[in-house]
Amino acid sequence: MPRFAANLTLLYQEVPFLDRFREAASDGFRGVEFLFPYEHPAQEIRTRLNDTDLTQVLFNAPAGDWASGERGLAALPGREAQFRDGIELALDYADALGCRQLHVMAGCPDTGESPERCRATFVENLAYATSQAAAHGVTVMIEPINPRDFPRYFLTRQDQAHAIRSEVGAGNLKVQFDAYHCQIVEGDLAMKLRQYIGNIGHVQVAGVPARHEPDTGEVNYPFLFRLLDELGYAGWVGCEYRPQGETRAGLGWLKPWLRATASR
């Protein structure tokens, strides 16, 4: 059965961030992910992980000025120095948190920027990031994201992501398969999983189209969870959705799966 990680940026917003680890553990999660840890000293987060026996599964490298709308730096020409500084900081946090996966966001290039130049910048930055991450035992993730939520985001399709992964050629570069984004852009989720599973390092889920609980909307997640088992997927499934109400009240969809993993 899949192992589920609570995304603490979106879930448990009823309590302050550092209290969300305890809430997730009490609901049966064994792993957690979030967008960014950098507002908190790494040791504060490490203490929460230790106290709750949770695994830190994933977080994002610095992504520029998030408040002003930036969504990553890796494919933005001219931002290479800032990108490299961010990778150094992210790997320091990864070491402190025992986290072995780091999501590197491509970003949203200006409309006048050449796509070819952005792609070359992305490949070069990923080559640097994977080289640095390898020394820390960290795998770098890239994730196609739908342009409805993030207009102008550089990386939007599975084939695009896997072609870039192949071009970089690093063994510690994988693709993050977010079923929510993939359904919006491409659909055909089961066939995409079958095609690319060998190079998928992390899976995330949310209901489509509103990004609420996975038992809402058009995607048959029980079918996909069984397919992940059939395909031998051994990674985590991140619960990156916006609860319709109080987080705990909306976890009914997950309880059978948590019971199954707890019994293993």
Q: Mind telling me the catalytic residues?
A: 143, 240
Task: Specify whether the CB–CB gap between 60 and 35 falls below 8 A.
Answer: yes
The Cα 67–Cα 74 span in angstroms is: 18
Of 112, 115, 107, whose CA–CA distance to 76 is shortest?
Answer: 107
Kindly state the greatest CA–CA separation across the chain. Answer: 54
The Cα 181–Cα 148 span in angstroms is: 9
Q: What CA dihedral angle connects 3, 129, 179 and 34, to 10 degrees?
A: 60
The Cα 160–Cα 169 span in angstroms is: 14
For residue 142, give the 3-state DSSP assignment: strand
Q: What is the DSSP letter of 101?
A: E
The Cα 215–Cα 209 span in angstroms is: 12
For residue 217, give the 3-state DSSP assignment: strand
Task: Specify whether the CB–CB gap between 174 and 163 falls below 8 A.
Answer: no
The Cα 212–Cα 243 span in angstroms is: 5
For residue 118, give the 3-state DSSP assignment: helix
